[in-house]
Amino acid sequence: MARKICKVLVVEDHEGIRDVLGGALKLEGYDFTLIDSAGDVEDAIDNGGHDVVVIDLPLAHGDPFTLAAAAKMTGLGVILTSGDQRLFPRIESSGHRHIRKPFMLDQFLPLIDRVLRELAIRCVRRRNREREAPRQRAARR
Q: The domain spanning residue 100 has which CATH number?
A: 3.40.50.2300
- How many domains, in total, are found in the chain? 1
At 48 the pLDDT is: 84
- Digit-coded pLDDT (tens) for 17-42: 999 999 999 999 999 999 998 678 88
CB atoms within 10 A of CB 11: 27
Query: Is 1 among the domain residues?
Result: no
**Residue 114 scores a pLDDT above 50:** yes
Which pLDDT score is estimated for 95? Answer: 94
Torsion over CA: 82, 108, 50, 15 (sign): positive
Q: How far apart are CA 81 and CA 54, in angstroms?
A: 7
Separation of CA 95 from chain center:
16
**Pairing state of beta strands 52-57 and 7-11?**
parallel
| Full domain range(s) for residue 59 | 7-140
- Range 11-19, long-range pairs (CB < 8 A, 24+ positions): 11/35, 11/36, 11/37, 11/39, 11/41, 11/44, 11/53, 11/54, 11/55, 11/56, 11/59, 12/36, 12/37, 12/54, 12/56, 13/37, 13/38, 13/56, 13/59, 13/60, 14/56, 17/56
**Tens digit of each residue's pLDDT (9 = 90 or more) over 61-112:** 888 999 999 999 999 999 999 999 999 999 999 999 999 999 999 999 999 9
| Domain assignment present for 123 | yes
- In-domain check, residue 105: yes
pLDDT at 138 over 80: no
| Inside any domain, residue 56 | yes
Judge whether 2 lies within some domain.
no
Residue 116 lies in a domain: yes
